[in-house]
């Protein structure tokens, strides 16, 4: 499934969203001393390094340049033993689907137990306002099924799992070491702040908005102000900016939520280069 889905998005979605000011991915590089990103067209694939351990957050498309770009960062695919999955859409799991090249065949996958029901076929993923049913995803890696609020310790790295249903029924976000929140497709950053993710791709938009408000409350109640790293836009350490429009949806048809600084065609990766990846911490997609 991932090969066909990846090729469809590269061709069809690049035309569909060209000039829409929607996608604003990070370019490949290190955000800081712990977090790195590989850009796969419009998707951000993250890595968290602490000591001798590097954890991958989401597995992107079935993308033929992933190993190359990981090399720009000094990360070998075989060093990845743990992959956190926010949700099962092909731009987040393509590199671990059964028809992928198998770069991470020995890695252990962590995925929400509710989200795993897509993989077992108990539920079907629907997009475009529920009009289009996606094929079932097949993944053969060993899995660890997660629940809301579960805390993991991987080689001294603390990972807290928050269930944020809406975009998918079992979408998880991951708070690492109380400092970095990897949000997947929960938050969409426009020019004036964070919104609930793209309306046409959600299982339940009302639930997505409710989940985003609940996430904000959980973080506030504990005095946590992490760095927010999104699946398809930038990152910010500004808490108020991240939740500025938590009750509103990102719609491809409303210019208000768009970002005029976004590339005309985010599927054009000509500005994502090895030289830039090695030039220092990636600040250009930080959103204040």
Domain boundaries, the chain: 2-262
* Calpha distance 77→103 (Å, rounded): 6
Q: Which CATH superfamily is domain 2-262 in?
A: Ribonuclease Z/Hydroxyacylglutathione hydrolase-like (3.60.15.10)
CA angle 285, 259, 228 (to 5 degrees): 45
Question: Which of 24, 1, 4, 20 lies closest to 284 in space, CA to CA?
Answer: 24
Q: What is the pLDDT along the chain (288 residues), one digit of tens a residue?
A: 678 888 888 888 888 888 888 899 999 999 999 999 999 999 999 999 999 999 999 999 999 999 999 999 999 999 999 999 999 999 999 999 999 999 999 999 999 999 999 999 999 999 988 888 888 999 999 999 999 999 999 999 999 999 999 999 999 999 999 999 999 999 999 889 999 999 989 999 999 999 999 999 999 999 999 999 999 999 999 999 999 999 999 887 666 677 888 999 999 999 999 999 999 886 656 665
Enter the pTM of the model. 0.96
* Calpha distance 101→11 (Å, rounded): 21
């Amino acid at each position: 499934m991932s090969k066909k889905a990846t090729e469809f998005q590269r061709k069809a979605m690049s035309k569909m969203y060209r000039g829409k000011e929607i996608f604003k991915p990070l370019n490949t590089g290190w955000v800081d001393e712990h977090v790195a990103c590989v850009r796969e067209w419009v998707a951000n694939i993250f890595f968290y390094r602490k000591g001798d351990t590097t954890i991958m957050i989401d597995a992107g498309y079935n993308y033929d340049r992933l190993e190359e770009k990981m090399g720009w960062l000094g990360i070998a695919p075989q060093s990845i033993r743990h992959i956190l999955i926010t949700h099962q859409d092909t731009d987040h799991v393509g590199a671990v689907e059964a028809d992928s090249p198998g770069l991470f065949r020995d890695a252990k996958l962590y995925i929400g137990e509710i989200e795993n029901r897509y993989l077992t076929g108990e539920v079907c993923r629907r997009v475009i306002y529920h009009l289009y049913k996606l094929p079932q995803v097949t993944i053969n890696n060993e899995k660890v099924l997660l629940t809301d609020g579960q805390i993991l310790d991987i080689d001294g790295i603390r990972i807290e799992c928050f269930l944020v249903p809406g975009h998918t029924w079992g979408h998880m976000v991951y708070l690492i070491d109380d400092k970095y929140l990897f949000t997947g497709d929960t938050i969409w950053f426009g020019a004036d702040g964070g919104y609930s993710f793209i309306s046409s791709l959600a299982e339940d938009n009302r639930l997505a908005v409710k989940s985003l408000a609940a996430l904000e409350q959980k973080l506030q109640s504990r005095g946590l102000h992490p760095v927010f790293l999104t699946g398809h836009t930038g990152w910010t350490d500004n808490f108020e900016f991240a939740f500025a429009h938590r009750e509103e949806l990102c719609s491809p048809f409303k210019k208000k939520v768009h970002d005029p600084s976004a590339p005309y065609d985010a599927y054009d990766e000509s500005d994502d280069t090895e030289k830039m990846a090695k030039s220092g911490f990636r600040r250009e997609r930080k959103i204040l």
